Amino acid sequence: MNIQFTYLPGDGIGPEVGAAALFVLETVSDVFAHSLQIEAQLIGGAAIDAGEKPLPDATFESCQRTGAILLGAVGGPKWDHLTGADRPELGSLLPLRKRLNLYANIRPCKPYDGLLDRAPLKRDRLEGTDFVVMRELTGGIYFGAKGRDAGGAYDECRYSEAEVERIAIKAFDLAMQRRRKVTSVDKSNVLETSRLWRETVEQVSRRYPEVTLEHLLVDAMTMHMLTRPTDFDVVLTENMFGDILTDEASVLCGSMGVIPSASLSDGTIGLFEPIHGSAPDIAGQGKANPIAMILSAAWMLRLSFGLEAEASAIEAAVAGALDASEVTGDLGGALTTAEVGRAVAQRVRNAA
Ligand SMILES: NC(=O)C1=CN([C@@H]2O[C@H](COP(=O)(O)OP(=O)(O)OC[C@H]3O[C@@H](n4cnc5c(N)ncnc54)[C@H](O)[C@@H]3O)[C@@H](O)[C@H]2O)C=CC1
Ligand SMILES: CC(C)CC(=O)C(=O)O
Ligand SMILES: [Mg+2]
């Protein structure tokens, strides 16, 4: 098969973890006799530095055409003086998600066995943790009107019933394939958008009588996630809460550097990216953990190209590398970003 995708390394550690993931993809395509057609494009601060818009037209066109996108991260202190749509985050990543209608962001929290002792929680409390966060990705406060006025500053948060309904359906459909439980997280004691969220999720849940529905307020959820992580199956939540809760979930999994994500629409386009950002504090030092990016590449093979054996081969290689402590410093190892990429690739080759 010809695996054609758009590659957006972006900023900070993006190009570093991206190079490691590409190395693994090249090995997989060699082992499984595929060809790779990589369309590398500019995004974020890297695009700004090249004299382009944060989301250049050529980049968007490539994403639309290939329908499979592997992205590192955007943003960093170098561009923090910029405002509004001139910023990498507001001018590239958010419009990319919005314009491609990638409203369903799926982020897994299933600690690898080799990392169970790295989390602050004891192994016996963590063992069996396996939940997925279904985060709404194209609505809410990140996309509302924002600005400054005489009174200070404002960020508007809006959700339509249709926006809540479609992400709730995704969550319930996913729960039907898993352990049939949805935990919907909102702030309905205070926010009107959350009241709509809760009512709509209730309505959708009536179509799924086999699925147990639980509602939690987001402040309490930050505690429940740490005290009873094994209780959750599908966690359904809005854009900003999902952003925050999944960084917290990374603590259960050992590091920010191990959680991949898929952002999907109702069509065939998929955007695959680690949940972490550009990590300017470690950029350029070979310290970044590439596993989240490598797993995002595996998800791209599975979800955009239907290459299940190839995706599973990468995931098995990652599990093997973690068991053998072939890891970067965030996981207590001594390997560089590139060395982890090579170690995972070697395991893919050895298993073939
Ligand atoms: N999807 C994206 O493009 C995202 C972009 N950002 C942007 O990234 C920049 C930095 O944001 P931060 O708040 O520092 O979040 P961050 O996720 O980049 O980093 C948070 C902490 O986790 C560590 N970390 C992150 N990824 C790691 C990896 N792969 N291996 C080892 N350690 C890792 C970092 O060193 C840092 O200490 C900001 O400009 C922010 O807007 C933040 C989140 C997502
Ligand atoms: C630019 C941010 C909204 C990206 C982010 O933090 C995320 O999607 O996790
Ligand atoms: Mg985030």
Which ranges in 288-336 belong to alpha helices (H)? 291-305, 308-323
CA-nearest of 293, 247, 234 to 106 is 234
What pLDDT shows up at residue 7? Answer: 99
> What ipTM was assigned to the predicted interfaces of this complex?
0.99
275 ligand 2 Cβ < 6 A: yes
Which mutation among 87, 93, 278 tests ligand 2's pocket best, with the greatest number of atoms within 8 A of CB?
Answer: 93
Report whether residue 89 contacts ligand 2, using a CB cutoff of 6 Å: yes
> Would you state the pLDDT for residue 117?
85
CA distances from 77 to 49, 56, 281 (A): 13, 21, 10
Question: How far is it, in rounded angstroms, from Cα 284 to Cα 302?
Answer: 30
Best CA proximity match to 289, nearest among 279, 298, 297: 279
Is 251:125 a contact under the CB 8 Å cutoff? no
Residue 58 CA to ligand 1 center (angstroms) comes to: 26
Name all residues whose Cβ lies below 6 A of ligand 1: 13, 17, 73-76, 89, 93, 255-257, 273, 276-282, 288-289, 292, 330
287 is in an annotated binding site: yes
pLDDT at 121: 85
Q: Provide the token pair at 174.
A: 């996913």
60 three-state secondary structure = helix
User: In a 3-state reduction of DSSP, which class is residue 31?
Assistant: helix
Cα dihedral 169→170→173→175 (10° resolution): -110
Atom 8 in ligand 2: residue holding the nearest Cα: 243
Catalytic residues: 142, 187, 219, 243, 247
Domains with residue ranges and CATH for the chain: 1-102+267-352 (3.40.718.10), 120-252 (3.40.718.10)
**Pocket of ligand 2 contains residue 243 by CB under 6 Å:** yes
Q: Where are the alpha helices (DSSP H) in the chain?
A: 14-31, 45-49, 57-66, 88, 94-99, 123-126, 161-176, 192-205, 218-227, 239-252, 291-305, 308-323, 337-351
Please list the rounded mean pLDDT of every run of 10 residues in the chain (352 residues): 98 98 98 98 98 98 98 98 96 98 98 88 92 98 97 98 98 98 98 98 98 98 97 98 98 97 97 98 98 98 98 98 96 97 98 94
Residues 6+ apart with CB under 8 A from 173: none
- pTM tops 0.90: yes
Residue corresponding to tokens 């309505």 = 203
Please provide the DSSP assignment of 199-260 as one string: HHHHHHHTT-TTSEEEEEEHHHHHHHHHHSGGG-SEEEE-HHHHHHHHHHHHHHTT-GGG--
